[in-house]
Structure 1
Amino acid sequence: MNKEMPQDDWAPRSEAVLDDQIASYDEMRRRCPVAHSEYLHWSLFRHEDVVRALHDHHTFSNAASSHPSVPNGMDPPQHTLYRQLIEPYFSAERMAAFEPVCRDIAVKLVDGLPAAGEVELMAAFAEEFALQAQSAFLGWPAELNEPLRRWTRKNHAATLARDRNAMEEVAFEFDGYIRALLAQRRAAGDGTPSDITACLLRERVADRLLNDEEIISILRNWTVGELSTMSASVGILMHYLAARPALQQQLREQPSLLPVAIDEILRIHAPLIANRRITTREVEIGGRRLAAGERVTLIWASANRDEAVFGDPDDFRLDRDPSKNLLYGAGIHVCPGAPLARMELRVILEELLQRGCRLQLVPGKEPVNAVYPASGFAALPLRIERE
């Protein structure tokens, strides 16, 4: 007997939703907080429901991908083994060692901005920072930046279209880049550099070395997450400050406020729209009954704006309880790369603000919103004025 499919409550790929994702998710949270669609299956919009799914990994499994995903697509105990392996790569010691490299990248990009005038910040600055910082962190050559930029865009397009063949091709293309890097490091023998990519070749799990498929999956997860969300975050932050000169000046004068201000701005406008889960058993959530095996989409961009937790979702406050902010998730799958992302965002804003750049909106030129699975802006015209 075929399972009866629920009627769709909304259309995630409709023009109205993609035109303004944040406003659309706000409306869904109030109207239908647990909603079904053919494209995203079941979507959770409320903070309470998303937090419940995050902490109940026995019911809401992370093994939602048809491809191996280390460790994002795993549940305990398998997840625990790999998580313990990767967490040291984001330790305070590694962040302190990488910060000068990251700052050098930021300084060069800020100094490369025009002394005065209009610039499209996404391609010329935000995407470039994400690419350069990620390549430097992983020990990848600069010549890989442009292929990675094209790959990220193809990955977004394939995900939006839910084109399985295109998604397979994109994954295969990325795998090729990484296999070549691994082969180079193996061929170098004792001369292998001590970068993160080389270090992964020496990592062991369950008394054996990681195999290439596991290393590729780890690096793919880091790269997909880092490139898209980092460039989106930089764009969101720059637009937010350009629209609020007083806040921009306050952070210029009080840079110690940057970490909490960055997290709050990215709560208001999420750089990552959603993650997936799959139910392992029948469950009732938000007044809807989901069967075992249902695919679930956790809408971060809505949960972090829930009025029941944050009041007016657009109210910028520096005194919020940080434990409520789901910017980097929660539970056993909380983002291991959060220390890296926080450091990179702090550094890029420190250099922008302290090196005399005043960000201004361009009258008559609106930014172009990015569309699912991306967030932030596809194009961001801003005016730069130097002090």
Structure 2
Amino acid sequence: MSMNEKPTNDWDPRSDDITRDQAAAYDDMRHRCPVAHSDYLNLSLFRHDDVMRVLNDPETFSSAVSSYLSVPNGMDPPEHTQYRSIIEPYFSPQRMAVFEPVCREIALRLANGLSRGGKVEFNAGFAQDFAMQIQCAFLGWPQDLHEPLLHWIRKNREATLTGDRNALDRVALEFDTYIKGLLAQRREAGADAPDDITASLLRDRIGDRLLQDDEIVSILRNWTVGELGTIAACVGILAHYLAEHPDVQQRLREQPSLLPKAIDEILRIRAPLIANRRISTKPVEIGGREVPAGQRITLIWASANRDETVFGDPDEFRLDRDPASNLLYGSGIHDCPGAPLARLELRIGMEELLARTTWIALVPGSLPTKAVYPAAGFSALPLCVE
């Protein structure tokens, strides 16, 4: 095939066969066609080695793929480096230590509020509220923003799934309006503004100037989209896995100190984030396939983190794996700056869930509904909680 010829499709990411069981389908693609083209996801990479090669070569594989300003996810060095230096201090050990008791109080209250002795819709009854309340508390956002944000996340997911550009533009504008309203409130309050992260970003500088509103909105959009949907998916995946694997659940109830490693391992097995994007800056070869400059590339985390050449049996639960191989939070210069916050939230959420319950079980005869790309985890998750 010539470089200018349109490639043929190797798979259809939206077909029923794929969406019925995404993890199994990605496993199959990793073996059958590890570098695969589709109109929907362009060139998809399924193997751990190929994904790592892209992550470790930002000059050849650019992150500037979005038509919207994306700080810092959609940037390359040196611009990316400047913005990362502003963002990383918000996830410092000191900030995490200050936020931990706030996080624990929210997790404790929600765990105590779960209905006992019958079927619980766990996503609606715990996971989504946990993600929303935790993130708004971290950012200093008011409670009356919870419901609009939940609606916004749903609309953003639907627009992303359909690829409707007009809908995506409307959803982006809606979010910008929320955040710019918060920024205006803090400016008007002056010295009386709450001492929160949102107000702090108004004082941050890039070079010799203050961050612009569009940059702050982009940072907060990334944190919100990245945290709310993904943390809710993570909590649902973790609870379901423990219900499905009572031996692991019992072990973690008896040894909660194992939770940090166990959480990362469960989320390696069952991905909360399916994919990420790059674009090639020059012609290159990947997995025996010629890739032209300007080729959009999708990194399938959900496959790379189950690659047998790195992890052996991908479904085997092990706590002795090399954490550097786990791509749960990415790798390279674009590894997730919010990983310390996510790990804190998930650890505390699971600690309180296990401490405030005696057992979590599957509901006989009631199957969960798996989420469909770009979402992960479950769209409905019935569980029994004692």
TM range (shorter): over 0.9
Supply the distance in 2 between the matched residues of 1:40 and 1:169 (Cα, whole angstroms).
23
Q: Describe how 1:124-135 pairs up with structure 2 within 5 A.
A: 124-135=125-136
Q: CA deviation at 1:3?
A: 2.3
1:339 match:
340
1:58 maps to 59
Aligned residue in 1 for 2:257: 256
Q: For 1:150 and 1:135, locate their aligned partners in 2 and report how far apart those are by CA, in whole Å.
A: 15
Shift of 1:314: 0.3
Match of residue 289 from structure 2: 288
Distance 2:109 2:84 in 1: 34
2:280, 2:295 within 8 Å by CA — same for their partners in 1? yes
Per the alignment, in what secondary structure is the counterpart of residue 289 of structure 1?
strand
Give 2:379's aligned amino acid.
A
What pairs with 1:355-370 in structure 2 (closer than 5 Å)? 355-370=356-371
What is residue 308 of structure 2 aligned with on the other side? 307
- RMSD (Å), alpha carbons: 1.0
Distance 1:28 1:157 in 2: 25
Residue 21 of structure 2 is aligned to residue 20 of structure 1: yes
**Matched AA of 2:214:** E
Cα gap change, 1:326/1:2 in structure 2, threshold over 3 Å: closer, same or farther?
A: closer
Counterpart secondary structure, 1:202: coil
- 1:205 equivalent in structure 2: 206
1:248 CA drift (Å): 0.7
Which residue does 1:35 correspond to in 2? 36
State the AA in 1 paired with 2:305. N
**CA, structure 1 residues 336+2, in 2 after alignment: closer, same or farther (shift >3 Å)?**
closer
Deviation at 1:372, TM superposition (A): 0.7
The CA distance in 2 between the partners of 1:2 and 1:196, in whole Å, is 47
Which residue of the partner structure matches residue 139 of structure 2? 138
Aligned AA (2:121): E
2:376 maps to 375
Q: Which amino acid aligns with 1:58?
A: E
Select between 352-361 and 188-197 the one with higher mean Cα deviation.
Answer: 352-361
Residue 350 of structure 1 corresponds to 351
| 3-state DSSP of counterpart to 1:188 | helix
- Could you tell me how far 1:115 is from its partner in structure 2? 2.5
Inter-partner Cα distance in structure 2 for 1:3 and 1:209: 44
Q: Which residue of 2 aligns with 1:175?
A: 176
In the alignment of these two chains, the number of paired residues is 385
Could you say which residue in structure 1 is the equivalent of 2:235? 234
1:296 is paired with a residue whose SS is: strand
Aligned equivalents of 2:21 and 2:172: distance in 1?
Answer: 29
5+ residue gaps, structure 2: none
Alignment partners' CA distance in 1, 2:18 and 2:128: 24
Distance verdict in 2 for CA 1:306–1:2, change over 3 Å: closer
Query: Which ranges in structure 1 are unaligned for 5 or more consecutive residues?
Result: none
User: C-alpha displacement at 1:123, in angstroms?
Assistant: 1.4
- 1:221 aligned residue: 222
- Identical-pair percentage: 67
Work out the CA distance in 1 between the residues paired with 2:59 and 2:358. 49
Instruction: Tell me if the contact between 2:116 and 2:384 (Cα under 8 Å) persists in the aligned partners.
Output: no
**Residues 67-106 of structure 1 aligned to structure 2 (within 5 Å):** 67-106=68-107
Describe the SS at the equivalent of 1:83. Answer: helix
| In structure 2, distance between residues paired with 1:157 and 1:287 | 35
CA shift at 1:30, angstroms? 0.5
Could you tell me the TM-score, scaled by structure 2's length?
A: 0.99
What stretches of structure 1 move > 6 A for 4+ residues in a row?
none
Q: Give the whole-Å Cα distance in 2 for the aligned partners of 1:43 and 1:174.
A: 29
How far did 1:206 drift?
Answer: 1.1
